[in-house]
């Protein structure tokens, strides 16, 4: 039987697609009912459950890496906002963090998040608020050298105000970019979630000065009704 990334069997893959309807319940807001209904009917949520991924976000990094190929054997990766660990599940085998591919370079995976993350073989997780003073230095200390990839899926919980959420996510992305400038090896890659909304222009300018190529991508796994997209900067100039 086929196994998913956590060693669970993936026999749910052939399930029939049945749309689940959620009734409005007393005490539950309409927005929560809509979220629950969307979650229960989302094909990527079903796929994540069937294939043993910790969340649908795993498919976003998979699709981005299938296109840009930055998670290579031997890569040293820093993942900011890594909980619950879906990106880690994708990265660990791709970078050969467990040394399971004979003759191939062995990678390293360091993830940080505000929340504790369930352990995963081949990944090193740390609880850290990346926006606190000195957070960069802590990551650099854990890394103990250069990184080939800095990636961030950090997102603050929604304030319900679109522009505020946008500015917050840009601040997280900028902080991640500054860590990348500091630790990336020449030729390295920076990947970060952003929300379309106007203020990302300055960030793009900054990235274009430091990387040979900057692309904005909305992977198929990113919900079409969300303004989320990913910026991928490749070829760090050092
Ligand atoms: C969308 S989730 C990440 C999902 C992850 N990529 C995965 O595949 O499992 C966003 C994460 O960003 C984290 N986060 C938000 N602000 C943060 C901060 N200041 N420092 C560290 N993590 C942060 C949240 O705790 C949350 O777990």
Ligand 1 centroid – CA 193 distance (Å): 11
Count Cβ atoms below 10 Å from residue 34 Cβ, excluding itself. Answer: 12
Q: Which atom of ligand 1 approaches the CA of 79 most closely?
A: 6
In the chain, where are the structural domains located?
Answer: 21-52, 55-236
Radius of gyration of the chain (CA): 18
Closest by CA position to 166, among listed 193, 191, 195, 130: 195
In the residue annotation, 193 being an active-site residue is answered as yes
Q: Is the CB of 111 under 6 A from ligand 1?
A: no
Q: Which atom of ligand 1 approaches the CA of 130 most closely?
A: 20
pLDDT value of residue 1: 44
pLDDT value of residue 197: 72
Q: Which atom of ligand 1 approaches the CA of 172 most closely?
A: 19
Question: Residue 10 pLDDT more than 60?
Answer: no
Question: Residue 22 pLDDT more than 70?
Answer: no
Bridge partners of residue 127, in order along the sequence? 113
Which is the catalytic residue, given 67, 193, 208, 229? 193
Close Cβ partners of 198 (under 8 Å, ≥ 6 residues apart): 166
3-state helix, strand, coil in the chain (%, to 5): 35, 20, 40
Question: Residue 16 pLDDT more than 60?
Answer: no
* DSSP secondary structure, 210-235, as one string: HEEEEEEE--TTS-TTS-EEEEEEEE
Task: Indicate the CATH number for domain 55-236.
Answer: 3.40.50.150
pLDDT value of residue 167: 85
Buried b (16+ CB within 10 A) or exposed e, 132-158: eeebbeebbeebeeebbbbbbbbbeee
Q: What is the dihedral of CA 212, 218, 221, 224, to 10 degrees?
A: 170
Q: State if pTM tops 0.95.
A: no
Annotated binding residue 129: yes
pLDDT digits (tens, 9 = 90+) for 137-193: 999 999 999 999 999 999 988 888 888 888 888 899 999 999 999 999 999 999 999
Close Cβ partners of 42 (under 8 Å, ≥ 6 residues apart): 56, 223
pLDDT digits (tens, 9 = 90+) for 104-133: 999 999 999 999 999 999 999 999 999 999
Give the integer Cα–Cα distance in Å for 77 and 88: 9
Site to probe by mutation for ligand 1, drawn from 48, 51, 78, 154 as the one with most ligand atoms within 8 Å of Cβ, is: 154
Give the integer Cα–Cα distance in Å for 31 and 43: 20
| Segment among 7-11, 44-48, 106-110 with least mean pLDDT | 7-11
Q: Is the CB of 5 under 6 A from ligand 1?
A: no
Indicate the pLDDT class of residue 26, thresholds 50, 70 and 90: low
């Amino acid at each position: 039987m086929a196994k998913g990334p956590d060693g669970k069997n993936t026999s749910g893959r052939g399930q029939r697609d049945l749309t689940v309807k959620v009734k409005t319940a007393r005490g539950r807001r309409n927005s929560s009912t809509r979220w629950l209904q969307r979650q229960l009917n989302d094909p990527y949520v079903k796929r994540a459950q069937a294939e043993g991924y910790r969340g649908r976000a795993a498919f976003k990094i998979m699709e981005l890496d299938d296109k840009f190929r930055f998670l290579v054997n031997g890569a040293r990766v820093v993942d900011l906002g890594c909980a619950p660990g879906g990106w880690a599940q994708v990265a660990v085998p791709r970078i050969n963090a467990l040394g399971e591919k004979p003759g191939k370079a062995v990678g390293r995976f360091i993830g940080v998040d505000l929340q504790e993350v369930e352990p995963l073989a081949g990944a090193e997780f740390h609880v850290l608020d990346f926006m606190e003073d000195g957070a960069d230095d802590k990551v650099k200390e854990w890394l103990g050298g250069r990184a080939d990839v800095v990636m961030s899926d950090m997102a603050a919980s929604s304030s319900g105000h679109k522009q505020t959420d946008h500015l917050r996510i840009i601040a997280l992305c900028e902080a991640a970019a500054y860590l990348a400038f500091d630790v990336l090896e020449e030729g390295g890659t920076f990947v970060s979630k952003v929300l379309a909304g106007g203020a990302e222009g300055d960030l793009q300018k900054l990235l274009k000065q430091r990387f040979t190529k900057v692309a904005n991508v909305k992977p198929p796994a990113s919900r079409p009704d969300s303004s989320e997209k990913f910026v991928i900067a490749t070829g760090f100039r050092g």
